[in-house]
């Protein structure tokens, strides 16, 4: 068996575990049984699965995704639906990462349409999980489902066919939102493709984030590194070529982005005419560009970070300012805002990578 066959076998075993959990769930629902829906970590099937995962790295060589998966599995005390779903996501990620370098998308299309379809799937999942009737296996289709499936199939066939043959096969079997196992599998595959899909020049498809800043280089570096960890490209205006353009022309050119982060750092001081105490303020260009980007991108697509006790504009209502605390909690607040704006980012990418010894 080659590495892809081994990974497919592991994915198939995960699907069988999901079927087992679904049967337990239905049994508990019908008989009002309070027992937890888990897989016994001491069972023969689970031990075989763990051994197969441990052997996988000998087939594909050093790759930190395998180490992360092995470490995660070794720490599981109970194996439930969420644990199996997490393992499926990682296995699909490993599979597609193995393909990168030998399989590339033929054109320069971005993943915006695919991400939109994934967001629609996430919205439907909220309804799906909250409704206990969907635990009962009944065929359920509607116009929205048919439209969504057709749009996803078209998008995959047009732009991601070499990466998405497995998803296309699953879509043919996918009859409705009630089918939780296929639902989770398709979602996991889409998440991996959105995160790791490559362009013609074999670069990871990165979303662009415009960074507005003053003179605090340390804050700029922290934000830039955070964005890179999230798989985003930071657009720093003074690093962009001038091409004979004025500042405002450069802002217009390079602000065609997916999101913007505005840094309010204590670079200036000022006070009102009738005030006696000077207050720390951001540079005037920061305030101007903040308003410009809200008008251009929409308020929900602009995040504002505030360092120390910097004065913020009083006439921009409804803006949420995130304090840049020393503990780094601001990074996770920023991720939440980005996710709310539709960006496919994962806070786990900000955590230190651990490797098994």
* Same-domain status, 190 and 243: no
Domain end marker among 132, 167, 196: 196
* Same-domain status, 257 and 336: yes
Range of the domain at 15: 3-196
Report how far residue 96's alpha carbon sits from residue 192's, in angstroms, rounded to the nearest whole number: 7
- Give residue 330's pLDDT: 95
* Same-domain status, 39 and 148: yes
Do the domain assignments include residue 40? yes
Do the domain assignments include residue 152? yes
Closest CA to 122 of 183, 63, 169: 183
* Same-domain status, 176 and 238: no
pTM of the shown model: 0.45
**What kind and span of H or E run contains 306?**
strand 302-306
Do the domain assignments include residue 106? yes
- Give residue 289's pLDDT: 94
Instruction: Provide, rounded to the nearest whole percent, the portion of the chain with pLDDT above 90.
Output: 19
Domain end marker among 161, 196, 231: 196
* Same-domain status, 179 and 50: yes
* Same-domain status, 170 and 231: no
Do the domain assignments include residue 357? no
Beta-strand ranges (E) seen in 138-215 are 207-212
Rounded to the nearest 10 degrees, how much is the dihedral formed by the CA atoms of 138, 141, 142, 147? 160
Domain end marker among 162, 196, 230: 196
pLDDT > 90? residue 59: no
Report how far residue 280's alpha carbon sits from residue 273's, in angstroms, rounded to the nearest whole number: 15
**What kind and span of H or E run contains 263?**
strand 259-264
- Give residue 293's pLDDT: 93
Structure tokens at 160: 């991601």
Report how far residue 315's alpha carbon sits from residue 286's, in angstroms, rounded to the nearest whole number: 15
- Give residue 203's pLDDT: 37
Structure tokens at 242: 């001038």
Report how far residue 39's alpha carbon sits from residue 18's, in angstroms, rounded to the nearest whole number: 9
pLDDT > 60? residue 106: no
Q: What is the average pLDDT across 93-101?
A: 62
Q: Which of 35-39, 82-86, 150-154, 272-276 has the lowest mean pLDDT?
A: 35-39
pLDDT band for position 103 (cuts 50, 70, 90): very low
- Give residue 60's pLDDT: 57
Look at strands 279-281 and 268-270 and give their pairing.
antiparallel
- Give residue 200's pLDDT: 33
Q: Hey, which of 172-176, 236-240, 315-319 has the most confident mean pLDDT? A: 236-240
* Same-domain status, 37 and 176: yes
Q: How many CA atoms lie within 13 A of 325 on its CB side?
A: 9
Could you count the other beta carbons within 10 Å of the beta carbon of residue 14? 22
pLDDT > 50? residue 350: yes
* Same-domain status, 283 and 261: yes
Do the domain assignments include residue 356? no
Do the domain assignments include residue 202? no
Do the domain assignments include residue 201? no
Give the CATH number, domain containing residue 253. 3.40.50.10140
How far CA 101 is from CA of 199, 202, 212, in Å, comes to 11, 7, 35
Residue-wise pLDDT for 142-193, tens only, equals 667 777 778 888 888 877 777 777 788 888 887 765 667 777 788 888 877 7
Q: Tell which wins on pLDDT, 303 or 244.
A: 303
* Same-domain status, 221 and 161: no
Q: Do the beta carbons of residue 160 and residue 193 sit within 8 Å?
A: yes
State the Cα angle at 139 between 136 and 144, rounded to 5°. 115
212 forms beta bridges with: 262
* Same-domain status, 186 and 253: no
Helix axes 165-173, 143-159, angle to 10 degrees: 160
Please give the tally of structural domains in the chain.
2
* Same-domain status, 278 and 312: yes
Q: Which of 84-98, 119-133, 151-165, 238-252 has the lowest mean pLDDT?
A: 119-133
Q: Cβ neighbours of residue 218 under 8 Å, at least 6 residues apart? A: none
Q: Cβ neighbours of residue 66 under 8 Å, at least 6 residues apart? A: 53, 56, 57, 60, 94
How far CA 304 is from CA of 1, 88, 204, 293, 344, in Å, comes to 51, 35, 27, 11, 19
Do the domain assignments include residue 158? yes
Closest CA to 305 of 256, 341, 260: 260
Q: Tell which wins on pLDDT, 112 or 84.
A: 84
* Same-domain status, 175 and 238: no
How far CA 205 is from CA of 34, 50, 110, 312, 335, in Å, comes to 45, 33, 7, 34, 18
Structure tokens at 299: 């308020």
């Amino acid at each position: 068996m080659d590495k892809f066959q081994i990974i497919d076998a592991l994915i198939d075993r995960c699907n069988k575990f999901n079927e087992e959990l679904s049967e337990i769930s239905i049994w508990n629902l019908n008989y009002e049984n309070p027992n937890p829906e888990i897989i016994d970590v001491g069972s023969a099937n689970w031990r075989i699965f763990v051994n197969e995962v441990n052997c996988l790295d000998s087939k594909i060589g050093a790759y930190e995704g395998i180490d992360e998966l092995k470490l995660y599995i070794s720490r599981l005390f109970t194996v439930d639906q969420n644990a199996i779903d997490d393992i499926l996501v990682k296995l699909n990620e490993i599979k597609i990462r193995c393909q990168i370098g030998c399989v590339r998308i033929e054109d320069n299309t971005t993943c915006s349409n695919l991400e939109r379809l994934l967001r629609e799937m996430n919205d439907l999942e909220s309804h799906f999980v909250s409704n206990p009737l969907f635990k009962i296996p009944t065929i359920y289709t509607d116009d929205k489902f048919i439209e969504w499936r057709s749009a996803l199939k078209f998008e995959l066939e047009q732009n991601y066919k070499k990466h998405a043959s497995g998803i296309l096969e699953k879509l043919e079997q996918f009859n409705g939102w009630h089918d939780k196992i296929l639902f989770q599998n398709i979602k996991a595959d889409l998440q991996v493709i959105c995160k790791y899909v490559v362009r013609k020049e074999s670069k990871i498809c990165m979303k662009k984030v415009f960074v507005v800043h003053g003179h605090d280089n340390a804050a700029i570096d922290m934000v830039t590194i955070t964005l890179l960890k999230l798989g985003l490209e930071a657009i720093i205006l003074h690093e962009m070529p001038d091409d004979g353009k004025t500042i405002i022309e450069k802002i217009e050119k390079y602000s065609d982005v997916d999101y913007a982060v505005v840094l309010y750092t204590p670079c200036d001081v000022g006070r009102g005419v009738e005030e006696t105490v000077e207050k720390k303020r951001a540079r005037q260009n920061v305030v101007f560009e903040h308003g410009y980007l809200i008008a251009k991108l929409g308020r929900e697509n602009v995040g504002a970070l505030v360092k120390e006790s910097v004065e913020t504009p009083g006439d921009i209502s409804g803006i949420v300012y995130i304090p840049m605390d020393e503990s780094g909690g601001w990074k996770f607040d920023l991720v939440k805002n980005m996710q709310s704006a539709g960006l496919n980012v994962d806070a786990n990418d900000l955590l230190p990578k651990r490797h098994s010894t």
